């Protein structure tokens, strides 16, 4: 089903499920997107929030719910502020064990990951086709995505069983009582989907740019937070300082980078979110590195070395060597089947 935006698609899905499934419990990852939080809140369903990507906490909360009570696990494939990737196969295992449905938000994964650009679910089946008998994609009950982000357009969509889609079409207020997307927008989005589905060269170029950016910044002692996705979060720890850095880059150098402050992150977790594209060249990446190095010295921003020195225990994990979900072998692939 097509919606006017990914936000509307997620709110509509969660609200409708809550209204139509009696005694539903929604288990939500702590770092879920505000659109999912809004949908859960408006659904009026009971909710349990589990620690981010913690399968131990998720299982404990699933075990606390009666087996016969309906339940849905709502999570994201890529967490856009943190750069982390959900352990989707393990979530699906727990869902099967405890009789829960699964809903994954693939907004930041579609077009960028997978043999055909289907997202993290598609990518996991490409990376480890022998990991499960069915694969990951068929085990996820509901997938919500976006026609913005990688597809460069506007709109959102929901994928699920025929029965589920029919329920959504019949009862989702966000679908029934709003304007649909115009034909020229749908035509553009369709062309983008078809392009990325049959040609992986843009995805591969994107990943090369991401790798180069992460490795260069870490070599320059810029505190890139470790993560396997294309998101490049840089820790700042102060809202005024984060805004000062982005303002300086935009006004003086014509470079736009987002400052992520409260309430998107907790106070003290302020960061920059750098998003390389396939069109960023080696020269542009190196220029960014030089500019950030100068700004770090001028504004006395904490370096990677200082962040590592000041961390301990689990907090030190964020500064570990960067792991990549794309393998070297996959990056040699020129086109998808």
Q: Is position 149 annotated as part of the catalytic site?
A: yes
208-319 topology per CATH: 3.90.1150
pLDDT tens digits, residue range 264-323?
A: 899 999 999 999 999 999 999 999 999 999 999 999 999 999 998 877 655 566 777 667
Residue 32 has pLDDT above 70, yes or no: yes
Tell me the three state secondary structure of residue 188.
helix
Ranges of CATH 3.90.1150.10 domains, the chain: 208-319
pLDDT tens digits, residue range 90-133?
A: 999 999 999 999 999 999 999 999 999 999 999 998 866 554 45
Ranges of CATH 3.40.640.10 domains, the chain: 2-197
Q: Identify the bridge partners of residue 274 per DSSP, sorted by sequence position.
A: 232
Tell me the three state secondary structure of residue 271.
strand
Q: What value does the mean pLDDT take over residues 207-217? A: 95
Question: CB–CB of 179/8 below 8 Å?
Answer: no
Give the model's confidence band at 252: pLDDT under 50 very low, under 70 low, under 90 confident, else very high: very high
The 8 Å CB, 24+ separation contacts for 116-123 are 116/197, 116/198, 116/336, 116/337, 117/150, 117/193, 117/196, 117/197, 117/200, 117/203, 117/336, 119/77, 119/143, 119/145, 120/77, 120/78, 120/85, 120/86, 120/88, 120/325, 121/77, 121/88, 123/325, 123/326
Helix (H) or strand (E) holding 202: helix 201-219
Give the model's confidence band at 71: pLDDT under 50 very low, under 70 low, under 90 confident, else very high: very high
Q: What is the pTM of this model?
A: 0.91
Active-site pick, 47, 149, 163, 334? 149
Architecture of the 2-197 domain:
3-Layer(aba) Sandwich (3.40)
């Amino acid at each position: 089903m097509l919606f006017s935006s990914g936000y509307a698609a997620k709110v509509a899905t969660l609200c409708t499920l809550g209204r139509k499934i009696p005694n539903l419990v929604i288990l939500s990852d702590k770092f879920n997107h505000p659109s999912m939080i809004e949908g859960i809140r408006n659904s009026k369903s009971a909710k349990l929030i589990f620690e981010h990507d913690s399968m131990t906490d998720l299982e404990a909360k699933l075990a606390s719910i009666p087996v016969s009570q309906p339940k849905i696990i709502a999570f994201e494939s890529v967490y856009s502020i943190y750069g982390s990737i959900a352990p989707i196969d393990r979530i699906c295992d727990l869902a099967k064990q405890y009789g829960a449905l699964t809903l994954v938000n693939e907004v930041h994964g579609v077009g960028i990951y997978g043999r055909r650009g289907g997202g993290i679910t598609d990518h996991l089946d490409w990376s480890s086709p022998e990991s499960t008998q069915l694969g990951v994609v068929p085990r996820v009950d509901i997938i919500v995505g976006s026609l913005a982000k990688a597809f460069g357009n506007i709109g959102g969509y929901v994928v699920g069983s025929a029965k589920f889609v029919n329920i959504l079409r019949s009862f989702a207020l966000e679908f029934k009582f709003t304007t649909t997307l115009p034909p020229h927008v749908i035509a553009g989005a369709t062309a983008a989907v078809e392009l990325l589905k049959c040609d992986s060269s843009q995805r591969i170029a994107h990943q090369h740019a991401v790798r180069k950016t992460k490795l260069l910044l870490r070599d320059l002692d810029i505190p890139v937070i470790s993560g396997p996705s294309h998101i490049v979060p840089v820790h700042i720890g102060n809202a005024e300082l984060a805004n000062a850095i982005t303002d300086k880059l935009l006004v003086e150098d014509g470079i736009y980078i987002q400052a992520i402050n409260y309430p998107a992150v907790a106070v003290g977790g302020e960061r920059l979110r750098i998003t390389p594209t396939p069109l960023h060249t080696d020269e542009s990446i190196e220029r960014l590195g030089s500019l950030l190095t100068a700004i770090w010295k001028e504004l006395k921003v904490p370096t990677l070395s200082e962040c590592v020195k000041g961390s301990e225990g689990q907090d030190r994990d964020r500064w570990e060597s960067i792991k990549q979900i794309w393998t070297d072998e996959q990056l040699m692939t020129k086109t998808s089947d």
